[in-house]
Chains A and B, each alone.
Chain A
Amino acid sequence: MARSPVLRSTAWLWLLATVGVLAVGFRQAIFVAPTEATMGNLQRIFYYHVPHAILGLVFPYINLVASLGFLYWRRRDPLKALTADALAVASAEVTVLYVGICLGSGMLWGKPAWGIWWAWDPRLTTALILWLIYVSYLLLRRFSPAGQIGVLAAVLAVFAAIDVPIVYMSIRWWRTQHPAPVFGGGPDSGIDPAMMPAFLWNLAGWAMWGIFLIAFRFALERRRQIAEQDAALQAIEASLETPQ
């Protein structure tokens, strides 16, 4: 394909830029940002935890849009439906990764800060449910009978997306052990302006990384689909050539 070299160059440039942004983000988070007054250096977990938490609530919407696209096109235009399905599985896997990191880094912060690894409070519980739904989504795709995978997964994806606003609003609707909203949480919320560059560099870096992962996984899934189609076509051709 003629566009492959251009796409490949763009992907490499994007990956290099992403690693550059993440390197700046790491330097800002560890060496430049001031030490927080009450938590000390433990607060630096925030610069990796919060970007993963935010992006873990954004990527499910890529999965939702792709799944709705699959349901819309599956009878009208099966080739477009396959493309949408590839995007859905790519975004679901990256969602599991990001929400999983959010949960894991939160637990590693919670043990020294709260003295416990886990609390069944609304934010943590709804985030765990979100992660479990997407893990079940991937398991469903892995073990469903061929031919029904796309439809079953797309319907589950619609339900999964319902949990996203609940996770976001949980620290606003209910009293939780999880810290109050840092951004958009009222007049007392926010962080020291000196900490903002570290947060923004890491948010940008992990967003670029996530987009790269989704694009790469999407391309892989498309490659797998095309290989599957070609194998099926070859099998049909071989059966037609068999002397009766």
Chain B
Amino acid sequence: MTWKTFFDFSTMAHRHLVFVYVGVWALQGGYLAWTAWNWRKIRSPRS
């Protein structure tokens, strides 16, 4: 497979493959970003 065929949206199978790979990174990255945002919001009170 190449980048070109990876982003081939001509069939449902190809579209869903991209949705899974992009969706997983979006969800995992989103959760990490949410945790980091809260980490910055709650300042360490004893530092």
Contacts and interface: CB of A to CB of B under 8 A. Distances in A.
Contacts, number: 87
A97 interface: yes
A108 interface: yes
Interface string A71-109: 000000000000000000000011001001100110011
A41 B32 contact: no
Interface string B1-43: 1100110000111101101110110011001100110110011
A219 to B, nearest CB: 8
A109 B45 contact: no
Interface residues of B, number: 29
Contact of B39 (A31, A45, A220, A230): A220
A199 interface: no
B27 A226 contact: no
A54 B45 CA distance: 38
A119 B34 CA distance: 32
Contacts of A219: 39
B42 A108 contact: no
A220 B11 CA distance: 43
20 contacts: A41-B5, A41-B14, A45-B16, A48-B24, A49-B20, A93-B31, A97-B27, A101-B24, A101-B27, A101-B28, A108-B23, A112-B12, A112-B16, A213-B32, A216-B36, A219-B39, A227-B42, A230-B45, A230-B46, A231-B45
Given A105-B24, A226-B45, A226-B46, A41 B39 contact: no
A65 to B, nearest CB: 21
Given A1-B47, A213-B31, A220-B42, A108 B6 contact: no
A168 interface: no
B39 A112 contact: no
B14 to A, nearest CB: 7
Contacts of B31: 93-94, 97, 213
